Structure 1
Amino acid sequence: MSLILVIEQILNGVQLGVMLFLMAAGLTLIFGVMGLINLAHGSLYMVGAFAAAAVAGVTGSFLLALLAALAAAALAGALIEVTVIRRLYAADHLDQVLATFALILVFSEGVRWLFGSFPLYLDIPPALSGPVTLPGGIEYPLYRLVLIGIGLAVGLGLWWLIERTRLGIRIRAGENDREMIAALGVDISKLYTLVFALGAALAGLAGALVGAIQSVQVGMGEPVLILAFVVIVIGGIGSIRGAFVGALLVGLTETLGGVFLPVFFGLFTDPATATSIGASLASMAIYLLMGAVLVWRPTGLFGVRA
């Protein structure tokens, strides 16, 4: 196995990780501040992807497509928070799971009604298409490098928002003691709507960015949502730093496992069997990683609550 292949797979793992971070950051923010299990978060990812594909098809502008994804997902998130989610804060987690699962069905059928059952395609902008040569003669797709850069920039901006702004102080205070900040005059309802819309916008942005390297179709958000839940369990619920580290671990585990495990089993069995066993274990590797982290640290790597 060549060193170039290993480096390419590491970059693929980082790219997958930063996209999972955009999903997981919004999810852990919503759960940490509101205590809400939101299964519909993957549907907001899908909304962003479809909004981007539709706007790009009409205008031909990828930048406008990204802005449309952010706006559509944030608007959809604020709308469902006001109309549905707000009634679930006092409910137990089972009620939250059932209600947000129903939202998945509503979003799926709504998108199918608007856009049809066939996939849409979002083209990579010409300026970002093609490979770029990295040190060592490695050729890697420019768009995937841009995805990594955007993900890191959004992560840095989110950290600044949470740690260095007045709004961030309110969000962190709401996570620790919502009754106290409400007593101090903070409109907790508006804060919750804003946090939910922010988390939705991050999911929509991830959907739009990934939509350019895969087809945009109904139900595309659910597999990513499962990985996002794994990320926040590994990183620790409510921790943005944990979401980032967990996302990178999951991304690298999935991509490198898909490369190294078939090679490892190929040392002992025939190539067809090695590929089958290696591919199966590679898909399990992230869950094995999650189990190992929970055995060592039940609250996750950066979690503070049991």
Structure 2
Amino acid sequence: MTTLVLSQLLNGVQYGVLLFLLAAGLTLVFGIMSFVNLTHGSLYMLGAYFGATAYNHTSSFLLAIVAAVGGCIIVGIILERTAVSRLYSRDHLDHVLVTFGLLLFFNEMAQIIWGTQPYFLPVPSWLDSTVNLFGITYPSYRFAIIVAGLLAAVGSYWLIHKTRLGMLIRAGSVNPQMIGALGINIKFLNALLFGVGAALAGLAGVMAGPILSVQSGMGEPVLITTLVVIVIGGIGSVSGAFYAALVVGIVDTLGRAFLPMLLREVMARDLANAAGPAIASMLIYVLMAVVLAIRPQGLFAGAKK
């Protein structure tokens, strides 16, 4: 039983760091630029497709990562310059309507280019093994996702808190007019920030490729969960997104693993197997509702960014 609990905890952490890769970029764009970007899920999907296509042509997972991250940066910057930048002065409803339309466009475009059948990105051979963690064997690739997510978290913290660019980003989130008056190109800063968010989404997509099927529309479910992470962690807080992503990942994973087992003690096995996953899928939304009731600004909004 201990082995099962530890294994599921690691799965929860792995899911959490994938959520963080998405949430970090989205919370920066939402919290700093005050832009609701529903196309973030499409960038995640495109990262998976770019990575799978590159791997099928080169058989190199490292090149697949480069293609996913680079491709999403290009798409993100083009998207920001051609569409998003025109909406900064509009209200959030316009943001939602336009980016939802773009999300549908990218889903249809993916079906036209890659077809309706799922793509599969295999686990690279050099990670197709296991590692020993806390006395249990754990897939090397899932452990690599955890490491990649932690490195992204450290890199995001360094970028925001230890660099001049991060200083400008933090200042721009408080008073963008003053930053512009001081001669800083706020348009370039916004495009760069959007590109960073797109890069993290692409990295999340290509890392998720070997454990999920790559298909059109794969970004919507994870986008909803990512928005839950942002609400729990605090809008605009990268550190909050990290902690909240871990909490959501662990709660969701443990709920799906152990709720059916617990329910079998009080109801029929078939009913427990059906009710367990359904209740588990509700847990993160119940958690979000509790957080909104107790601390509407988010659990970790005190140390913003």
2:147 is aligned to: 149
What one-letter code is carried by the residue in structure 1 that aligns with 2:119?
L
The Cα shift of 1:261 comes to: 1.4
Could you tell me which of 241, 244, 247 is aligned with 2:245?
Answer: 247
1:197 aligns with 2:195: yes
Counterpart for residue 181 of structure 2:
183
Corresponding position of 1:52: 51
> 1:203, 1:23 → 2: CA distance?
5
SS in 2 for 1:212: helix
Q: Which position in structure 1 is the counterpart of 2:162?
A: 164
Q: Which runs of 5+ in 2 are unaligned?
A: none
Shift of 1:106: 1.5
Q: Quote the RMSD (CA, aligned, Å).
A: 1.0
**Identical pairs, percent:** 52
Q: Distance in 1 between matches of 2:65 and 2:121?
A: 11
1:210-234, Cα deviation, whole Å (9 max, x unpaired): 0011111101111110000000000
After TM superposition, the structure 1 = structure 2 runs for residues 10-49 of structure 1, keeping only pairs within 5 Å, are 10-49=9-48
**Deviation at residue 131 of structure 1 after TM alignment:** 2.0
- Per-residue CA shift, 1:173-228, capped at 9, x if unaligned? 11111001000110000000000010011000000000011111101111110000
Q: Which runs of 4+ in 1 moved over 3 A?
A: none
Give the alignment's TM-score, normalised by structure 1.
0.97
Q: Deviations over 1:225-278 (max 9, x none)?
A: 000000000000000011001100110010001122112211111211222222
Q: Alpha-carbon deviation of 1:37?
A: 0.3
Give the AA of the match of 1:53: A
User: Which ranges of structure 1 fall in alignment gaps of 5 or more residues?
Assistant: none
SS of 2:38's partner is coil
What residue number does 1:261 align with? 259
The amino acid that maps onto 1:193 is A
Using the alignment, how far apart are the partners of 1:51 and 1:24 within structure 2?
20
Count of residue pairs brought into register by the alignment: 303
Question: How big is each residue's C-alpha offset from its partner over 1:109-161, in whole Å with a ceiling of 9 and x where there is no partner?
Answer: 2221211111111111101002223332x111010001000100011011000
Match of 1:217 in 2: 215
User: Could you tell me how far apart the structure 1 residues matched to 2:262 and 2:53 are?
Assistant: 44
Alignment of structure 1 residues 100-139 onto 2, 5 Å: 100-136=99-135, 138-139=136-137
Does residue 290 in structure 1 map to residue 288 in structure 2? yes
**How far apart in 1 are the matches of 2:85 and 2:278?**
41
Cα distance between partner residues in 2 of 1:270 and 1:113? 45
Mapped partners of 2:223, 2:178: distance in 1: 32
CA distance in 1, matches of 2:107, 2:129: 33
Give the structure 2 partner of residue 4 of structure 1.
3
Q: CA deviation at 1:294?
A: 1.3
State the distance in 2 between where 1:101 and 1:294 align.
25
Offset from partner CA, 1:266-301 (integer Å, 9 cap, x none): 111121122222211101000011111111111101
Q: Deviations over 1:50-77 (max 9, x none)?
A: 0000000001100000000001111100
Letter matched to residue 177 of structure 1: N
SS in 1 for 2:196: helix
Counterpart amino acid of residue 222 in structure 2: V
Matched to 1:149, the amino acid is: V
The alignment's TM-score, normalised by the length of structure 2, stands at: 0.97
C-alpha separation in 1, matches of 2:151 and 2:287: 27
Report the Cα distance in structure 2 between the residues aligned to 1:212 and 1:270, rounded to whole angstroms. Answer: 35
Which deviates further from its counterpart, 110-119 or 226-235?
Answer: 110-119
Return the letter of the residue paired with 2:178: M
CA drift at 1:303: 2.2
- 2: CA distance, partners of 1:219 / 1:269: 35
Could you tell me which residue of structure 2 aligns to residue 236 of structure 1? 234
Q: Distance in 2 between matches of 1:287 and 1:222?
A: 16
1:14-34: CA deviations, max 9, x gaps? 000000000000000001111
Kindly provide the amino acid, as one letter, of the partner of residue 68 in structure 1: A
